[in-house]
């Protein structure tokens, strides 16, 4: 019985030690601390002891426990019986007693317990430390009974030790160290209580950890925590928070997450758990926070323990989505912020939603929320966001008006305003801007030396047929950014329009080898505009035979719907075609794989296919001919393929084909004129009227503009509401008897006088 009882007592003690060690080991493993650094276990009435632990193992008086159990459970046998079983009880043999009568069981010796700290904490009213000290002493001395009134515990006649405990309680650790050293110097036999020294070591470590955390010395915080794991308990949660922050600030987010997970799994104080989520949300990513929120517990009232901060968490998560366009915030959080924006009416909530939608290119939703924020509070941030959404929706005029007054509030606001001006000046058709708006845009562009808008001012002036103004803007843009090729090209064609040959030559010299289109300016074909294209270069025209005139391909006229003018008519246009002359090639009506032909035969077949208007097959034949080792054949093939693509309406392909072999200046000019005309037609069909005029201007520098392209120019002006320029062009073209020009005048009259009946 005695041995069984002792085993039970020891087993209980060991179980308590194992439980504490397992709990501590879990945190150490998560935080990456070495197992051998684990301190001796401690206990408290409700978990761990708040405060320092002792480094020595608890001393349990096993012999005293054994004697007490033996006295309580052993029945003395009769004097004549050595041992036996009586009444079902085990009878243990006893040594002969010196006295004739049996003595009462010996009272277990009470262990000597240092209760000075207990009395001191009670005198200070520090209940937390008092309970922690009671739990510590009970763990060290299992048969010790705490006094009913700790204040009645005698001081023990050692006022100096009492003063040391007071210094410890007040956090005056340096003075305590000095007091201990002074007493040891004066009394070599005196030794401070081990408990006091251990507590002092831990307290000083905590002070160093807090100081390092305040100074943002996060590596030191982690090192102290690793060396003093007894600090990492729920009873001192501030230390756990500081260690977690140190991990997060040193790019060890998984370790920080483990620290917060430990708190949420082991610590029970509701306020501390709530504060843990708040602190973690400021340091951890959205995805990691979802892991922590999964550990949320019911609050006992039908809700969840973090409901009180749910709105703030949703705001923080949506803000994280603003920083990372790839982050998909859960719809539940977006709905929370939307509800807050609608019910509480805070502009900040609308701004959060606006930026979130803008980063995901949901421009209509972004405009909605930015406009709501702007109406509640017209701030620079709200105006900037609304302007960006309007620019993305191709409404730069509204954007310029919204952000103008905030343009100087920040660098971002300035950049947003300048972007709005560049997009506004590039609108097609041009926006109807007042002189005041143009003046303020120009003033800001000059003040900021913003090249994109200065360049757009140049193109805008060209659209308004103001070449001198355009040249000045292009020159200004080049002063600010000498390597801006579009501005240089704009200046070159504008000077060419102004007949400034020296100026054009200077630009070409500066951009030699850097811009092909600038270099090619002025390469004109000297033949009259009405002269037919040259015959196929692979053949010569026999003497006495003439080249057939070029075939004119007309596009049926059709009405183009638009807002200004209400109705316009697309003119009949001329496209480049090629005829072989009086001698027609035959034998190309059947389908043949051109890649199987030799280059010379493929070249002849290409011209034949052009004659019967099969340009795409011709392009393939010319492609096969480009493999010829003969330079002349390659030149002819590249020229023919360019013409084939032009006939098929593929001007970009034609431009590429023309570069596959060197061309004579005459042919290069011929192709360039044709490509520019084709691009002008395509731009007009796509309602890019300003681009149409640019291509026509470029072509006009190379070749006199024919009547059908003049009519096209007139309709481009008409579509851009430039009625004066349209009337001038239509009138000049109509004087030649062109019917399309007369229709243009009628459409112009209908646009400017919609109530007049013809």
Q: For residue range 330-376, list pLDDT tens digits in order.
A: 999 999 999 999 999 899 999 999 999 999 999 999 999 999 999 99
Please give the full DSSP string across 28-87, using - where no structure is assigned.
HHHHT--GGG------BTTBSPSS---SSPP---HHHHHHHHHHHH--PPPTT--SEEET
CB crowding 124-140: b at 16 or more within 10 Å, else e: eeeeebbbbbbbbbbbb
CB distance 286 to 327 below 8 Å = yes
pTM (predicted TM-score): 0.55
Structure token pair of residue 306:
């973090």
Nearest-angstrom CA–CA distance, 33 and 113:
34
Confidence (pLDDT) at 87: 37
Structure token pair of residue 158:
């050692």
Nearest-angstrom CA–CA distance, 166 and 164:
5
Residue 443 C-alpha from the chain's centroid: 34
Q: Region 517-543: what's the mean pLDDT?
A: 45
Nearest-angstrom CA–CA distance, 686 and 730:
22
Structure letter (DSSP) for residue 79: T
Q: What is the pLDDT of residues 41-78, one digit of tens each?
A: 333 323 333 333 333 334 434 344 334 434 443 444 44
Confidence (pLDDT) at 169: 78
Structure letter (DSSP) for residue 475: H
Q: Taking the CB of residue 530, how many other CB atoms lie within 10 A of it? A: 9
CB distance 144 to 138 below 8 Å = yes
- Return phi, psi of residue 89, to 5°: -100, 145
Name the H helices within 106-172. 116-124, 127-140, 159-169
The residues facing 89 across adjacent strands are 86
Least confident of 8-22, 445-459, 593-607, 702-716: 8-22
Diameter over CA atoms, the chain:
165
Nearest-angstrom CA–CA distance, 758 and 750:
9
The residues facing 86 across adjacent strands are 89
Percentage of the chain exceeding pLDDT 90: 35
Nearest-angstrom CA–CA distance, 142 and 10:
11
CA distances (Å), 205 to each of 24, 26, 198, 243, in order? 18, 22, 11, 13
Confidence (pLDDT) at 569: 37
Nearest-angstrom CA–CA distance, 59 and 65:
12
Confidence (pLDDT) at 446: 94
Confidence (pLDDT) at 664: 74
Residue with tokens 């087993």: 11
In angstroms, the first-to-last Cα distance of the chain is 127
Residue with tokens 């316009």: 568
- Return phi, psi of residue 240, to 5°: -60, -40
Half-sphere exposure of 624 (CA within 13 A, CB side): 21
Confidence (pLDDT) at 108: 54
Confidence (pLDDT) at 193: 82
Architecture of domain 565-582+595-752: Alpha Horseshoe (1.25)
State which H helix or E strand residue 723 sits in.
helix 723-734
Cβ partners under 8 Å of residue 125, min gap 6: none
Q: What is the pLDDT of residues 626-658, one digit of tens each?
A: 888 888 888 888 888 888 888 777 867 777 777
Nearest-angstrom CA–CA distance, 747 and 569:
7
Please give the full DSSP string across 478-532, using - where no structure is assigned.
HHH-TT-HHHHHHHHHHHHHTT-HHHHHHHHHHTTTT-HHHHTTT----S-TTSP
CA distances (Å), 637 to each of 340, 619, 625, 649, in order? 70, 9, 6, 18
- pLDDT category, 106, cuts 50, 70, 90? low
Three-state DSSP at 44 gives strand
**Is residue 244 pLDDT above 80, yes or no?**
yes
Nearest C-alpha neighbor of 648 from the set 688, 608, 609, 614:
614
Q: What is the pLDDT of residues 466-494, one digit of tens each?
A: 899 999 999 999 999 999 999 999 999 99
Half-sphere exposure of 161 (CA within 13 A, CB side): 21
Confidence (pLDDT) at 486: 92
For the CA atoms of 316, 318, 319, 322, the dihedral, rounded to the nearest 10 degrees, stands at: 160
In sign, the C-alpha dihedral spanning 40, 41, 43, 46 is positive
Confidence (pLDDT) at 153: 64
Half-sphere exposure of 654 (CA within 13 A, CB side): 26
Structure token pair of residue 548:
């057939």
The residues facing 513 across adjacent strands are none
Confidence (pLDDT) at 442: 94
Confidence (pLDDT) at 54: 34
State the burial class of residue 303 (Cβ atoms within 10 Å of its Cβ: 0-12, 13-18, 19+): exposed
Confidence (pLDDT) at 587: 60
- pLDDT category, 465, cuts 50, 70, 90? confident
Confidence (pLDDT) at 618: 84
Cβ partners under 8 Å of residue 706, min gap 6: 529, 574
Structure letter (DSSP) for residue 666: H
Mean pLDDT over the full length of the chain:
76
Structure token pair of residue 594:
């051109």
Nearest-angstrom CA–CA distance, 552 and 564:
31
Confidence (pLDDT) at 621: 85
Confidence (pLDDT) at 28: 52
Nearest C-alpha neighbor of 498 from the set 475, 527, 478:
475
Residue 647 C-alpha from the chain's centroid: 48
Q: What is the pLDDT of residues 666-700, one digit of tens each?
A: 777 777 788 888 888 888 888 888 889 988 988 88
Nearest-angstrom CA–CA distance, 343 and 337:
10
Cβ partners under 8 Å of residue 107, min gap 6: none
**Is residue 399 pLDDT above 90, yes or no?**
yes
Structure token pair of residue 639:
């020229």
Confidence (pLDDT) at 44: 32
Peptide bond connecting 429 to the previous residue in cis, omega within 30 degrees of 0: yes
Cβ partners under 8 Å of residue 205, min gap 6: 224, 227, 228, 231
- pLDDT category, 22, cuts 50, 70, 90? very low
Distant-in-sequence contacts of 373-377, Cβ < 8 A, 24+ apart? 373/347, 373/348, 374/402, 376/345, 376/346, 376/347, 376/350, 377/347
CB distance 478 to 484 below 8 Å = yes
Confidence (pLDDT) at 132: 77
* Domain limits, the chain: 565-582+595-752
Q: What is the pLDDT of residues 148-205, one digit of tens each?
A: 787 766 655 578 887 888 888 788 888 988 988 988 888 888 888 887 888 888 888 9
Q: What is the pLDDT of residues 281-325, one digit of tens each?
A: 999 999 999 999 999 999 888 899 999 999 999 999 999 999 899
Confidence (pLDDT) at 552: 23
Residue with tokens 């949901």: 362
- Return phi, psi of residue 756, to 5°: -85, 130
CB distance 723 to 715 below 8 Å = no
For the CA atoms of 494, 500, 503, 504, the dihedral, rounded to the nearest 10 degrees, stands at: 60
Name the H helices within 377-434. 380-392, 396-403, 411-425
- pLDDT category, 456, cuts 50, 70, 90? very high
Q: What is the pLDDT of residues 260-281, one digit of tens each?
A: 999 999 999 999 999 999 999 9
Nearest-angstrom CA–CA distance, 263 and 48:
13
Nearest-angstrom CA–CA distance, 374 and 367:
10
CA angle 135, 136, 141 (to 5 degrees): 100
Q: What is the pLDDT of residues 702-743, one digit of tens each?
A: 778 888 888 999 999 898 888 888 888 888 888 777 888 888
CB distance 516 to 486 below 8 Å = no
Confidence (pLDDT) at 47: 33
């Amino acid at each position: 019985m005695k041995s069984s009882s002792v085993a039970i007592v020891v087993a209980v003690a060991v179980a308590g030690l194992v439980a504490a060690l397992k709990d501590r080991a879990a945190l150490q493993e998560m935080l990456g601390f070495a197992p051998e650094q684990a301190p001796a276990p401690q206990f408290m009435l409700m978990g761990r002891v708040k405060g320092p632990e002792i480094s020595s193992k608890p001393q349990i008086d096993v012999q005293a426990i054994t004697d007490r159990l033996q006295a309580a459970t052993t029945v003395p046998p009769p004097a004549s019986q050595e041992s036996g079983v009586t009444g079902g009880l085990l009878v243990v043999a006893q040594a002969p007693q010196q006295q004739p009568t049996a003595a009462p069981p010996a009272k277990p010796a009470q262990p000597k317990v240092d209760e000075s700290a207990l009395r001191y904490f009670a005198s200070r009213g520090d209940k937390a430390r008092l309970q922690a000290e009671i739990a510590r002493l009970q763990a060290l001395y299992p048969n010790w009974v705490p006094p009913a009134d700790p204040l009645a515990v005698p001081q023990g006649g050692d006022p100096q030790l009492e003063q040391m405990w007071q210094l410890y309680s007040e956090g005056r650790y340096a003075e305590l160290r000095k007091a201990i050293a002074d007493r040891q110097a004066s009394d070599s036999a005196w030794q401070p209580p081990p408990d006091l020294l251990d507590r002092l070591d831990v307290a000083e470590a905590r002070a160093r950890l807090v100081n390092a955390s305040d100074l943002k010395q996060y590596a030191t915080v982690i090192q102290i925590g690793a060396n003093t794991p007894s600090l990492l308990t729920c009873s001192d949660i501030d230390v756990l928070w500081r260690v977690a922050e140190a991990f997060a600030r040193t790019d060890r987010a998984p370790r920080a997450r483990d620290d917060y997970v430990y708190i949420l799994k082991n610590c029970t104080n509701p306020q501390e758990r709530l504060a843990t989520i708040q602190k973690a949300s400021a340091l951890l990513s959205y995805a990691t926070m979802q892991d922590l929120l999964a550990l949320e517990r019911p609050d006992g009232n039908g809700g969840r323990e973090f409901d009180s901060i749910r709105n703030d968490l949703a705001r923080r998560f949506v803000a994280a989505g603003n920083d990372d366009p790839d982050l998909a915030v859960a719809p539940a959080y977006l709905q929370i912020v939307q509800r807050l924006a609608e019910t509480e009416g805070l502009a900040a909530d609308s701004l959060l939603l606006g930026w979130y939608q803008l980063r995901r290119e949901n421009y209509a939703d972004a405009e909605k929320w930015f406009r709501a924020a702007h109406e509640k509070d017209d701030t620079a941030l709200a105006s900037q966001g609304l302007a960006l959404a309007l620019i993305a929706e191709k409404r730069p005029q509204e954007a310029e008006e919204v952000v103008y007054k905030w343009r100087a509030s920040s660098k971002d606001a300035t950049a947003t305003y300048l972007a709005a001006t560049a997009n506004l000046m590039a609108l097609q058709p041009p926006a109807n801007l007042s002189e005041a708006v143009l003046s303020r845009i120009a003033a800001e562009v000059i003040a900021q030396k913003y090249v994109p808008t200065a360049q757009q001012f140049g193109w805008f002036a060209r659209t308004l047929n103001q070449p001198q103004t355009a040249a000045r803007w292009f020159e200004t843009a080049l002063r600010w950014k000498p390597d801006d090729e579009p501005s240089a090209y704009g200046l070159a064609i504008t000077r060419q329009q102004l007949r400034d040959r020296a100026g054009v030559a200077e630009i070409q010299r500066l951009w030699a080898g850097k811009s092909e289109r600038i270099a090619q300016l002025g390469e004109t074909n000297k033949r009259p505009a009405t002269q037919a294209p040259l015959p196929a270069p692979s053949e010569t025209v026999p003497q006495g035979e003439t080249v057939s005139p070029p075939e004119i391909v007309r596009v049926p006229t059709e009405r183009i719907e638009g807002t200004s003018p209400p109705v316009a008519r697309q003119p009949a246009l001329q496209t480049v075609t090629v005829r072989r002359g009086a001698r027609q090639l035959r034998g190309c009506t059947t389908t043949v794989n051109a890649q199987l032909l030799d280059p010379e035969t493929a070249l002849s077949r290409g011209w034949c296919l052009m004659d019967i208007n099969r340009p795409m097959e011709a392009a393939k034949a010319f492609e096969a001919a480009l493999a010829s080792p003969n330079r002349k054949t390659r030149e002819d093939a590249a020229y023919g393929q360019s013409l084939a693509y032009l006939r098929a309406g593929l001007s970009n392909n034609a431009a590429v084909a023309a570069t596959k072999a060197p061309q004579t200046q005459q042919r290069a000019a011929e192709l360039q004129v044709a490509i520019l005309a084709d691009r002008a037609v395509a731009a007009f069909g796509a309602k890019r009227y300003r681009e149409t005029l640019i291509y026509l201007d470029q072509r006009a520098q190379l070749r006199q503009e024919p009547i059908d392209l003049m009519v096209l120019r007139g309709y481009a002006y008409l579509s851009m509401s430039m009625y004066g320029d349209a009337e001038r062009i239509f009138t000049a073209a109509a004087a030649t008897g062109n019917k399309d020009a007369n229709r243009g005048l009628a459409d112009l009259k209908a646009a400017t006088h919609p109530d007049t009946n013809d």
